[in-house]
Amino acid sequence: MIIGHDAASYCMSEYDLLKKVIVCEPQYMEIREVINETQKQFKDENIDRKLAMQQHEQFIERLKELDVKVYKLPALEAFPEQVFTRDIGFTIGKTVFVAEMANHLRQGEDHVLKSWLIEEHLPFFDLTTEYIEGGDVLIDRKSIYIGISSRTHEKSIRQLQSLLPHFEIIAMPFQEKFLHLDCVFNILSPTEALIFPEAFEHKEIDMLRSRFDLIEVNDEEQFTLGANVLSIGRKKVFSLPSNKMVNHQLRMRGYELIEVDISEIIKSGGSFRCCTMPLVRE
């Protein structure tokens, strides 16, 4: 179902200049039920909401300082994972696709997004055939990489291919324990990408290596979501200060690192990319 008619969104990559983005404050963030591997490590201490809110606000302020227009969805107590707006939708070309959430704890977050899009008179396509989440969708011009995971099913990938016949859709199987594709693979530029190799079979690594200079994330920094950086264009990248090896490798390649501490938020299994849903990149 397509809503609206005047395109007000545009994304064709993970690395073009970020102009508009959707976020949601972690006002009700908590590990109510363990739904990913990272949460298993922090379920007893759980989330310090006050600290998570402070860290998120620092992140948002840095985005604004860098001339990114930030839109905030209303936070609802029913959705403890709502800070991770990346998963509820994604923009390809001029279309916002609203995702179909797989885990029952997150089902309904997409309705908040749809309500906001309708209020803002922004067009969208509601994906309802099968489960698909934005953390599994990465865009590189006419190529779209989609992770096959417990959150994104192959049927939804086929649906997206039928909706986008002029795009190359590349299905990317990986070890499901890593939740989403963007936890183990992330595109930084037309020629460079971050990868945690242990998540993939040789076939996928060889294919990616033929397309990108792959920057490897080690096991320790995969746990702190070293691949889940946010590129905002012009080789500027948000990254955790603690991921020193990733940050060093990026600096060596000429990237400008914007280091913000969101260590409380990553306890629930997502970092900078997970916390943002781009609407417009130029």
Catalytic residues: 180, 274
d(CA 7, CA 9): 6
What are the backbone angles phi and psi of residue 188, rounded to the nearest 5°? -100, -30
Looking at residue 256, its amino acid is E
Q: What are the C-alpha distances in Å from 72 to residues 4, 7, 75, 83?
A: 20, 20, 9, 10
Token pair listed for 147: 């992770």
Q: Using CA atoms, how far apart are residues 156 and 249, in angstroms rounded to an integer? A: 35
Q: What angle do CA 115, 117, 120 make, to 5 degrees?
A: 110
How large is the C-alpha radius of gyration of the chain? 17
Q: 71 - beta bridge partners?
A: 22
**Based on the number of CB atoms within 10 Å of its own CB, is 38 exposed (0-12), middle (13-18) or buried (19 or more)?**
buried
Specify the 3-state DSSP secondary structure of 244: helix
3-class state of residue 259 by DSSP: strand
* Distances from the Cα of 154 to the Cα of 42, 158, 159, 164, angstroms: 31, 6, 9, 15
